[in-house]
Structure 1
Amino acid sequence: MIDMLVNLYELPDSSELYQRLEEQGIILRRANAYERHIVADWVGAHFSPKWVSEVKVAFSRQPITCFIATREKEVLGFACIETTAKGFYGPTGVGEDARGTGIGKALLFRSMEALKDNGYVYGVIGGVGPREFYQKTIGAIEIPNSDPGIYRDILPD
């Protein structure tokens, strides 16, 4: 899977998207240290064991580099930055029942804004699955010769 590059000084305005989530009762925020086990367990139940490892790395950072979307104290989605490599976005995922609400897009924007706040001018989306989503949503472009990129020689689960 290829990597994609995002121009962080040309990010679209995300305020309307955040407002729409708020109107649905969805809270988008940075996770807290005492929630590590909850978020890691949720990711393990919905996604890959490898993603659990990356989530745990995000919780080892200061500030924590994992963002979550919640409603009524339930995790609906997550996104991490700087777990596999500096300036990298991912992993990220939204629970099946919450897809189509805009959470994935909002987590992407919040993560890219955090990378920009950290001083980066470009962000890397590693090992992209839905290329069209990232192209359309945030103007990401494919990085030539990036497959397999950093995700080579991966140990099996």
Structure 2
Amino acid sequence: MKDMLVRLVDLPDIGSEEKQLFQEENMVFRKPIAAEKSLILEWVEKNFSINWKDEVDVAFSNVPVTCFIAQRNQDILGFACFECSSKNFFGPTGVLPSERGKNIGKVLLVKALQALKELGYAYAIIGGVGPIEYYEKAVNAKVIEGSEKSIYENLLKHKK
């Protein structure tokens, strides 16, 4: 899997998508607080992977937390982290399969990238991308040629 590069000065405006999701789906996007850490870590492991749980754990070690969640009432619908695997990296990120196709992922993505921009970065790296076309369309990300060997190259995997 390759890494991608995003120009942070050209991020799309997600205001209308976020407003629509709030009005029609009662959905909010926010940074979680420390008191929610164990709930969010359990949710990420259950719905995605233990490796991603470990990365989200790092997000809670940062002050402020380097993660956003999408929430409806007491239910977590998705998450997006940044500066977990490495400085200036976006990810991991995930949205429940039942909630995909509603722009939740795009709102989380752009919010995280905006936070990286606020940290002073002009570009951000999306590491180990699966859906290249998604990121090209959502934020005009470009594949970094030769990035097959990235920080994830020798990643240890949990044995079941």
TM range (shorter): over 0.9
Counterpart in 2 of 1:122? 123
Percent of aligned pairs sharing the same letter? 46
Is residue 77 of structure 2 the alignment partner of residue 76 of structure 1?
A: yes
Counterpart in 2 of 1:4? 4
Q: Secondary structure at the match of 2:134?
A: helix
Report how far residue 19 of structure 1 moved. Answer: 0.9
Unaligned runs of 5+ in 1: none
The TM-score, its normalising length taken from structure 1, stands at: 0.98
Which runs of 4 or more aligned residues in structure 1 lie more than 4 Å from their structure 2 counterparts after TM superposition?
A: none
Cα-to-partner distance string for 1:72-93 (whole Å, 9 max, x where unaligned): 1110000100000000000000
Aligned residues: 157
Alpha-carbon separation, structure 1, partners of 2:104 and 2:92: 14
1:7-156 alignment, distance < 5 Å: 7-23=7-23, 24-156=25-157
Q: Secondary structure at the match of 2:29?
A: strand
Q: Secondary structure at the match of 2:151?
A: coil
Alpha-carbon separation, structure 2, partners of 1:13 and 1:35: 28
Greater shift, 96-105 or 106-115, is seen at 96-105
Cα-to-partner distance string for 1:4-60 (whole Å, 9 max, x where unaligned): 000001111111111111112110001111100011000010011100000000000
Alpha-carbon separation, structure 2, partners of 1:156 and 1:92: 18
The TM-score, its normalising length taken from structure 2, stands at: 0.96
Alpha-carbon separation, structure 2, partners of 1:79 and 1:19: 18
Report how far residue 148 of structure 1 moved. Answer: 2.6
Q: C-alpha root-mean-square deviation of aligned residues, in Å?
A: 0.7
Q: Secondary structure at the match of 2:129?
A: coil
Report how far residue 151 of structure 1 moved. Answer: 0.6
Alpha-carbon separation, structure 2, partners of 1:66 and 1:130: 20
Alpha-carbon separation, structure 2, partners of 1:107 and 1:37: 20
Unaligned runs of 5+ in 2: none
